[in-house]
Structures are given as structure tokens and as C-alpha cells.
């Protein structure tokens, strides 16, 4: 469950901290940070650093600072590791969507599992399906349809069975419920994209940044 601040709040204070449902390092930072905890390869004594990141021995696509992080991420990565090893797999900007879709396809309970929100209510992915209007807007937007067709080609080339309508629905879900984080520790950026359950139901806050323990802090600045 997310941790919640109980003190009186002013603009800029942390309202709550929670971990994303799924996250992926953006392609340009692959190999520069641990894909699980986001520790960097280089730095100084004031930030968390590691001397060398270790690649997944099977797919060589994921980077970890140690065995613990690799083990923690395996519940998600095991679904994509075989795909990454496929001879026709090409580097993609859609790692997050691929990770989500493979979780949904391989685990019948993934989209129905309920997660508790910071106000005590709970939600599952199936509760968060996007509207027909939003999907129709994507279907008429060249930029998004081009990206979706690239995803389709990726699925076909590596042998992932899909239904186009279902693929479109989850693609729309990711567009609506994912965020990019640009966070700086000193002058060093840490970037990832992630899917969250919290902000889809409570859209009162704007700024998101990394918490010190690997969670994500959201301040109380209203829209």
C-alpha cells in the first residue's frame, strides 16, 4: 500500500509515495542504469552508484546492479526474455507496452488482480479500460497508428499471438496511464517510463519524481 503523509500540506509537499505497477528504462539509458532500481554506472559519493552493470545472461538486453535486482525483476522479465532472444527481435521504443502486454497474455489474473490505492479503495486493470472515444481518437491519429502497426509487426516477427482490437485497447491504456520521469540527482538524469494505478483515479497532482527508496513521490501542486 502507498505511504501517505499525515502532516498539514502546503504546495510542493509530498502527498504520497508509491511504486509503479510496471516500469522500463527508456532505450537511450539502457546499460546506463540498473533496469530494476535505477542505480547508475558512474557517479560520485553522494549518489548510489555501481562499478559495473551485469547483463541478463540469456537475452543480453536487461542490465542489473546485482543478483537481488535481477531476482526482483524476473517475475516480469521472464515473460519478455524469450522474446528478446528471438533472432528477429529489434530494439524498440515500446518496451513498456510489450512488458505489460506479455504480463496480461501470460497471466490470466494480471488484469483482474486488485491493487489498493492511497485512499483505501482498490482497482484492477480491467476497471481502467479507456473510453471508446479515446480509442477512436487513436485510430484516427497517424502518429499512434504508425506506432501500433510497428508493435503488430514486432509481435508477428517474434511469434506473439494477438488480437488487433485487444492490442489497440491495451495500447490506448498505456497511452492514457503511463508517464515519463525525468529526475536529476546532482547533474545526472535518471529516466524511465512507467504505468501507474494511482494517477488514473486521482488526477490532482502534477510533479512526479524519484523517491530515495525507489518509490515515486508526487507533490500536492493542483492542476
pLDDT digits (tens, 9 = 90+) for 149-191: 999 999 999 899 999 999 999 999 988 888 776 554 444 444 5
Torsion over CA: 77, 78, 79, 80 (sign) = positive
* More reliable by pLDDT, 33 or 199: 33
Residue 56 lies in a domain: no
pLDDT value, residue 27: 78
127-136 in b/e form (b: 16+ CB < 10 A) is eeebeeeebe
* Residue 190, CA distances (Å) to 24, 29, 216 in order: 11, 8, 13
Task: Using pLDDT thresholds of 50, 70 and 90, give the confidence band for residue 2.
Answer: low
State residue 179 phi and psi, 5-degree precision.
-140, 150
Residue 181 lies in a domain: yes
Residue 147 lies in a domain: yes
Q: Give the range among 13-22, 60-69, 190-199 with minimum mean pLDDT.
A: 190-199
Longest Cα separation, the chain: 55
Residue 128 lies in a domain: yes
DSSP H or E segment with residue 209? strand 208-210
Residue 113: which domain range? 16-27+90-219
Per-residue HEC secondary structure of 72-102 comes to HHHHHHHHHHHHHHCCCCCCCCCHHHHHHHH
Residue 186 lies in a domain: yes
Q: Give the range among 58-67, 80-89, 105-114, 208-217 with minimum mean pLDDT.
A: 208-217
Residue 11 lies in a domain: no
The DSSP secondary structure of 11-40, one letter per residue, reads TTSEEEEE--SEEEE-GGGBTTB-TTT--B
pTM of the model: 0.74
Number of domains present in the structure of the chain: 1
* More reliable by pLDDT, 81 or 26: 81
pLDDT digits (tens, 9 = 90+) for 32-65: 888 988 887 765 555 555 568 899 999 999 999 8
Residue 104 lies in a domain: yes
Residue 38 lies in a domain: no
What average pLDDT does the chain have? 76
- From CA 144, how far away is CA 55, in angstroms rounded? 31
pLDDT value, residue 211: 38
pLDDT value, residue 212: 35
Amino acid at each position: 500500500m502507498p505511504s501517505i503523509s499525515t502532516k498539514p500540506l502546503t504546495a510542493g509537499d509530498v502527498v504520497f509515495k508509491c511504486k509503479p505497477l510496471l516500469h522500463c528504462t527508456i532505450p537511450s539509458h539502457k546499460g546506463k542504469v540498473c533496469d530494476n532500481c535505477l542505480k547508475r554506472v558512474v557517479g560520485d559519493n553522494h549518489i548510489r552508484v555501481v562499478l559495473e552493470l551485469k547483463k541478463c545472461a540469456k537475452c543480453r538486453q536487461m542490465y542489473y546492479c546485482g543478483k537481488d535486482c535481477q531476482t526482483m525483476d524476473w517475475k516480469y522479465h521472464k515473460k519478455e526474455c524469450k522474446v528478446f532472444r528471438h533472432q528477429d527481435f529489434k530494439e524498440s521504443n515500446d518496451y513498456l507496452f510489450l512488458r505489460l502486454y506479455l504480463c496480461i497474455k501470460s497471466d490470466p489474473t494480471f488484469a483482474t488482480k486488485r491493487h489498493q490505492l492511497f485512499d483505501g479503495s482498490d482497482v484492477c486493470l480491467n476497471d481502467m479500460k479507456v473510453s471508446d472515444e479515446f480509442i477512436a481518437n487513436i485510430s484516427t491519429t497517424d502518429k499512434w497508428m504508425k506506432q501500433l502497426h510497428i508493435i503488430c509487426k514486432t509481435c508477428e516477427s517474434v511469434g506473439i499471438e494477438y488480437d488487433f482490437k485487444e492490442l489497440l485497447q491495451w495500447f490506448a491504456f498505456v497511452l492514457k496511464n503511463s508517464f515519463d520521469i525525468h529526475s536529476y540527482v546532482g547533474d545526472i538524469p535518471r529516466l524511465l517510463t512507467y504505468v501507474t494505478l494511482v494517477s488514473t483515479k486521482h488526477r490532482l497532482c502534477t510533479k512526479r519524481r524519484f523517491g530515495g527508496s525507489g518509490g515515486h513521490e508526487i507533490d500536492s501542486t493542483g492542476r
